[in-house]
Amino acid sequence: MTKVSTSKNRKIEAILLGTFVFISMFLLVLLAKNISGIRPIRQNKDALISRIRELEQERAKYKKTIEELNKQIGELERKTASSDRRVKELKRQLDLLREEVGMTAIIGKGVEVTLKDAEVSGGLIEEEQAVVHDSDLRLLVNGLFLGGARAVSINGERITSVSSIRCVGPTILVNSKRISSPFVVKAIGDPESLIDGLYEEPTLNYYITQLFPEIGIGFSVKKKDDIRIPAYKGNLSFSKNLVRVAK
Amino acid sequence: MIWMSILAGVTAGVLLGVFVTLEIPAVIARYVSIALLASFDTLIGGLKSYLKKEFDEWIFVSGFLANSLLAAFISYLGDRLGIELYLAVLLVFGMRIFQNLAELRHALILKLRRVKKNK
C-alpha cells in the first residue's frame, strides 16, 4: 500500500501539493471578496431608511405649505365672493362640496373608538394574531360609515373617498402615513346610530364581541360631544384615466 | 522544496484571487465554501502523508475532488430536503482537519528531531 518515494517523485509531489494549495487559496480569496461584497446590502438598508426619514420630513414641510396655500385660497375666495353675487353662490356650493369630500375640519358630536394591540405574553396566541390589522381598521371604518358617520379619522388622518388603509410589513399606512397602536378612530355623527352601525355589520360584530376579547386586543368606544376631525391634507384628484372614464 | 512549493501556491493563489474579479454567485457561494473546507482537509492530509513519505498522487487528487464535491453535494441535498446536513459536513471535516493537523505536527516534530540527530 505504502509507496516508497524516489527523490524525483518527491519533487513532483511537492509541486502537485503546491498547485492544489494554489487552487484552494484562489477560491478562498474569491469567496472572502464575495462575502465582503454582500455586506453593502445592509449598509444600503440603512441608507434607504435614512432616505425614507428624509423624504417624510420633506413631505411634512410640503404639507405645511399646502395648508398655507389653502388658507390663502380661502381668503381670496372670500374676497371675490363679497364682490359678486354669482361668485358668492358658487362659493357656497364649493364649500358644501369641500365639506362633503373631507377638505374641511369638522367639529361635532360623535364617538371615539380605540383599538390596541394585545400584549403578547408568549401564550397560545401568536404575535401575528395579537396585533391590530389593516383589515380590522377597514371593517371598523366601514362600520362607522354604515352608522351614518359624516367624517372619520384614524390617528388624525381623515378618511376620504380616496383614502387607503393598508399594511406594509409591521406598520399600517393610512393615506400613505405610517400609524401604529393604539389606533384612535374618531367619527362624527349621531353617537347612538354610530354604535348601532358597529354592531350591525356581522363580521365586525363577531370581532368586537368575541374575537377581540379572546385575543386580548383592546377595544373601547366612547361617546363624545366635542370631536374634532381634521381636514384631508392630501391630493383629492383621481388619476387621469379615472377622470376620463367618469366623463 | 515542499515549503517553497506551498508558499508559492499560497502567494500566487492570494494574488490571483485579489486581482481577478470573478463573482461567485451567491447561490453557490455556500457550497463552494463547504467544498473548500473539505479541500483544506485533503491538503493538510496530503502534506502530512508527504512528510511521512506515504504520498500517493492518485489518492490525493481523487480525495481532493471527491471530498469537496461530496461535501458540496451533501449540503445542497440538505438544503433541498430542509435538513441542515451541511452541519454534518462541517463537523466531520472540521474534526478531520484538526486530526490531520495533529498528525502533521507529530510527523514534523519527528522529522526535525531526526534531522538534528543526523547532525
- What pLDDT digit, counting tens, does each position of A148-160 carry? 999 999 998 999 8
- Say whether A39 sits in a helix, a strand or coil: coil
pLDDT for residue B107 is more than 70:
yes
* Domain, as residue range, for A76: 43-97
pLDDT in tens, A6-47: 667 888 888 888 999 999 999 888 888 876 555 555 667 778
Cβ contacts of residue B56 below 8 Å, gap of 6+? A3, B49
On the question of pLDDT at A242 being above 60, the answer is: no
Chain A residues lying within 8 Å of B5, measured CB to CB: 14-15, 17-18, 21
- Put simply, the chain A residues between 15 and 74 with a CB less than 8 A from any chain B CB are 15-35, 37-38
**Residue of chain B whose Cα is closest to the Cα of A24:** B36
Please tell me which of the candidates B6, B13, B36 has its beta carbon nearest to residue A17.
B6
DSSP H helical ranges for chain A? 7-38, 40-83, 85-101, 127-130, 134-146, 191-200, 202-206, 212-215, 240-246
Q: Is B73 on the interface with A (CB under 8 A)?
A: no
Q: Taking 60 as the threshold, does the pLDDT of residue A181 lie above it?
A: yes
CA of B40 vs chain A CAs: smallest distance (Å): 7
Residue A65 covered by a domain: yes
DSSP state of A156: T
- State which residue of chain A sits closest to B28, comparing Cα positions: A31
Say what percent of chain A tops pLDDT 70: 85
Within this chain, do residues A152 and A209 fall inside the same structural domain, yes or no?
yes
CB contact under 8 A, A16 and B61: yes
Same domain, A111 and A222: yes
Q: How far is A32 from chain B (nearest CA, A)?
A: 9
**Spatial separation of the C-alpha atoms in residues A229 and A226, rounded to whole Å:** 10
Nearest C-alpha neighbor of A219 from the set A155, A140, A152, A158? A140
Do A60 and A117 sit in the same domain of this protein? no
The confidence score (pLDDT) of residue A43 equals: 64
In a domain, A214, yes or no: yes
A13 at interface of B, judged by CB pairs closer than 8 A: yes
What DSSP state is assigned to residue A150?
Answer: S
| Domains in chain B, number | 1
Per the structure, the count of domains in chain A is: 2
Residue (of A158, A159, A224) closest to A191 by Cα position: A224
- DSSP string computed for A160-190: -TT--EEEETTEEEETTEEE-SSEEEEEES-
Please list the residues that pair with A219 across neighbouring strands: A115
B36 touches chain A (CB under 8 A): yes
Angstrom distance (rounded) from CA A95 to CA A92: 5
E strand residue ranges, B23-89: none
CB B17 within 8 A of CB A33: yes
Question: How far is Cα A227 from Cα A222, in angstroms, rounded to an integer?
Answer: 11
DSSP-derived pairing of the beta strands A151-154 and A106-116? unpaired
Instruction: Assign A4 a pLDDT band (cuts: 50, 70, 90).
Output: low
Flag the least confident range among A72-76, A167-171, A240-244, B62-66.
A240-244
User: A182: cis peptide before it, omega within 30°?
Assistant: yes
Q: Answer whether residue B59 is part of any domain.
A: yes
**Across chain A, what does the average pLDDT equal?**
83
Q: Which domain holds residue B97?
A: 26-118
B45 in a domain, yes or no? Answer: yes
My answer on whether A58 and A163 are in the same domain is: no
Which chain A residues touch B24 with a CB distance below 8 Å?
A: 30-31, 34
In a domain? residue B17: no
Q: Cβ separation of A34 and B26 shorter than 8 Å?
A: yes
- In this prediction, residue A247 carries a pLDDT of 45
Q: CB-based contacts of A221: which residues, under 8 Å, 6+ apart?
A: A111, A112, A113, A195, A198
CB contact under 8 A, A27 and B36: yes
Which of A49-63, B11-25, B52-66 is least confident?
Answer: B11-25
| Nearest-CA distance B96 → chain A (Å) | 17
Question: Is the residue at A36 inside a domain?
Answer: no
CATH number at residue A199: 3.30.70.1880
Q: Is residue A240 part of a domain?
A: no
At residue A136, the 3 state secondary structure works out as helix
**A226 sits in which H/E element:** strand A218-229
Report yes or no: A119 and A218 within 8 Å, Cβ to Cβ.
no
Contact A101, A163 (CB under 8 A): no
The reply to whether A121 falls in a domain is yes
- Other C-beta atoms closer than 10 Å to the C-beta of A13 total 23
Q: A119 Cβ partners below 8 Å, 6+ apart?
A: A130, A216
- Nearby residues of A133 by Cβ (< 8 Å), 6 or more positions away: A167, A172
Measure B33 CA to nearest chain A CA, in Å.
7
Q: Are A79 and A181 in contact (CB under 8 A)?
A: no
Q: Which among A5, A21, A34 has CB closest to B43?
A: A21
- Among the partner residues B4, B16, B26, nearest to A26 by beta-carbon distance: B16
